[in-house]
Structure 1
Amino acid sequence: MAEKFTVFLSGLLLLFLLPDWTESVEDTVDINTLATVDINTLTRIINFFEQNYKRVAEEDGFHYQYATAINVPKDQCQQNFNLNTFLTQENASIVKEDINDDSNALYQGEELIAAGTRKVVTKKYYYYMHSESLLLNPANNSPMTNLLNKRNDGCSVFYTFNSPCVNTCLNAKGSHNILDALKNWKQHDGIKAFVFRNFWTADENKTDLETKFKQIVAHVPLFRCVSENECYACNGEGNTPIDEHCLPPPPPKKTNIEL
């Protein structure tokens, strides 16, 4: 009789604790879900950038390089994304005007920052500072730093039209590299996504492009959005390879032709 009573009490104790245990499991699942951008929503976000901020030459339709970054509430990167409440504090005309002025090429708003390419003139020559560097440097006091500080647990997405160049942006020894900024971004709470569309022309045939892209993945998730309805997670964490959609196609194999 005593054994039955002990078992009965154990059952009551289990039933008493079960609701709290179940709630804890659900909370954990919710947290993990919040940490990942919804890929379909990401497609809509990048499409919004392309429709509103893309830099296009009037004479021939050439697409110039530009980059943008947002820090918005988490739900704006999940399935309940609402276009009617997205970046309502930003004026697209002002954004485009600012980033197309190559003397500055920078826009800083409430939830959005954007950049074109800035013309830098020296005594002997001039060059254009890349849009990724304009937004992410100096690493500890950049437009991106200020944007992230406005919302500690929001969804932050960085989008660049062309992939970061190997010789400058992804060169750890270069003065304009973005790697230190990505390390800082890693510490920011909330959802994160680094996204590109095209491959920088000079890097399409680089054999070490996967290794270079893994430098990004080491800090933030990398994605490629190739069209208005097609985005891919690049993966590449640890020993995992970068997804083939995020790398240029391999060059055609040479064949020996017998005469």
Structure 2
Amino acid sequence: MKFAVLLSGLLLLFLLPNWTESVDTVDISTLARIINFFERNYKRVDTDGHPRQYAVAINVPKDQCQPDFYPEQNNFLTRENAESVRNAINDETNGLYQGEELIAAGLKKIVISRKKQYYLHSESLLLNPPDNSPMTNLLNKIKDGCSVFYTFNSPCVDSCLNASRNHNILEALRKWQEHDGIKAFVFRNIWGNDLGKDLQTAFKKIAAHVPLFRCVSENQCYACNREGNLPINAHCLT
């Protein structure tokens, strides 16, 4: 009898760390409301109202990612000025905003010559270089908070998720994985140029490091990660 009790106690001790970790996750309904807050306050749009790519990351107290939290102007990211954020990320000479609890990026134009130029993507602007990025500095402010990274369009397969490209974000995601606390990588739309590509394999590169979600409205998010070798949730691929 004593032996059975001892075995039960050892089994509980063995399982407890995994159980504790599984509880320490973002509430998916609250996540949908957070993403909607970003869309209401920081979204980039053309003069004709057409949405443009941008990305936002936050590191906030854990309770702001748990059930029944409703982000509003008076209780969420109160040290950030929405107009300042929008002005910064719409300036393509820099394309970057760094605040107290929030960082954000649009695109940054790199001019090589009069006929040759390219844009640094918003995900790369926030996550690189991996050891000293805006995301690194943000995560250092709260060691065990809730960190959410949101990109309007999914990271591009050919650059952001390609390990052979200089501006890929894979090493940065691995660094983020080491951070304590709640983590969520979120996208809304699939990048148009990636339609028809192997998104299953590409998105697993993100999900291997941090929980991956797709939020399509203020009421609906999907968890893209699947346990073990199961495929990415179909809602995240179409």
TM-score after normalising by structure 2: 0.90
Equivalent position of 2:60 in the other structure: 72
Q: 1: CA distance between counterparts of 2:31 and 2:175?
A: 22
**Amino acid paired to 2:60:** V
Equivalent residue letter for 2:234: E
- Residue-by-residue CA offset, 1:100-159 (whole Å, 9 max, x unaligned): 001001000000000000111002411111000000000111000000011110000000
Determine which of 139, 148, 162 is the counterpart of 1:157: 148
Supply the AA of the counterpart residue of 2:117: Y
- Is the counterpart of residue 213 in structure 1 residue 203 in structure 2? yes
Question: Runs (4+) of structure 1 moved beyond 4 Å?
Answer: 27-30
Alignment correspondent of 1:257: none
Cα contact 2:30–2:70 (8 A) shared by 1: no
SS at the partner of 2:59? Answer: strand
**Aligned match of 1:145:** 136
- Alignment match, 1:223: 213
Matches within 5 A, 1:49-88: 49-58=38-47, 60-83=48-71, 84-88=74-78
- Residue 99 of structure 1 is aligned with which of 80, 89, 110? 89
Paired with 1:29 and 1:129, the residues of 2 have a C-alpha distance of 38
* Equivalent in the alignment of 1:89: 79
**Residue identity in the other structure for 1:36:** T
Q: Partner residue of 1:132?
A: 123
What is the CA distance between 1:82 and its match in structure 2? 4.3
Shift in Å, 1:221: 0.4
Number of matched pairs: 227
Bigger radius of gyration, 1 or 2?
1
Deviation at 1:32, TM superposition (A): 3.7
Shift of 1:80: 3.8
**2:171 paired with 1:180:** yes
Compute the displacement of 1:85 (Å).
1.7
Q: Is the 8 A contact 1:65 1:131 kept in 2?
A: yes
Secondary structure class of the residue paired with 1:85: coil
Deviation at 1:29, TM superposition (A): 9.2
Cα pair 1:214 1:236 within 8 Å, conserved = no
Question: TM-score, normalised on structure 1?
Answer: 0.82
**Where does the alignment leave 5 or more consecutive residues of structure 2 unmatched?**
6-12
What do residues 27-84 of structure 1 show as CA deviations (whole Å, max 9, x unaligned)? 87983465110000000000000000000112x2111000000000000000142423
RMSD over aligned Cα, in angstroms? 2.2
* Alpha-carbon contact 2:98-2:104 (below 8 Å) kept: yes
Q: Distance in 1 between matches of 2:108 and 2:153?
A: 16
Call closer, same or farther: CA 1:158–1:171 in 2, change over 3 Å. same
Q: Is the 8 A contact 1:217 1:237 kept in 2?
A: no
- What SS does the corresponding residue of 1:171 show, helix, strand or coil? coil
Secondary structure in structure 2 of the residue aligned to 1:161: strand
Change (3 A) 1:87 1:54: same
Name the SS of the counterpart of 2:158 in structure 1.
coil
